[in-house]
Homo-oligomer: A and B are copies of this chain.
Amino acid sequence: MAASAARTAERVDRVFHALSDRTRRTILERLSERPASLSEVAAPLGMSLAAVVQHVQVLEGSGLVRTEKIGRVRTCQIEPAGLTVASTWLDARRQTWERRFDRLGDLLDQDDED
């Protein structure tokens, strides 16, 4: 279970790293609307296709995007489960914070009873 925690940590690491780049987030915005080929993804981004390929590889390596090549066209789709990795981490933080907040509330209530 310690090993699986380490694996989870690396997954979280890759996802947040992937999300930290503005271009990659723009690609995800595009792909959440509909799947697209690499060229279609690249078109509005104002950079070389090679650069976009590298971004998509990062996204795929993090599990945020899935990719399939048919003929000479590689089509990219968003992978919602990848988003969940990030959301889950954020929710866990919020939950821990709220638990502490509740305990504080309990303490104050106790004080009121005195």
Residues of A within 8 A of B (CB): 9, 12-13, 16-17, 19-20, 22, 25, 28-29, 32-34, 78, 80, 83, 86-87, 89-91, 93-94, 96-97, 100
Q: Which residues of B contact A25 (CB under 8 A)?
A: 12, 16, 89
Min CB gap A13→B, angstroms: 6
Given A13-B22, A19-B16, A25-B16, A34 contacting B100 (CB threshold 8 A): yes
The oligomer's copy count stands at 2
Task: Summarize A's interface: helix, strand, loop or mixed.
Answer: helix
Q: Which residues of B contact A86 (CB under 8 A)?
A: 86, 90
B97 contacts A32, C-beta separation under 8 Å: yes
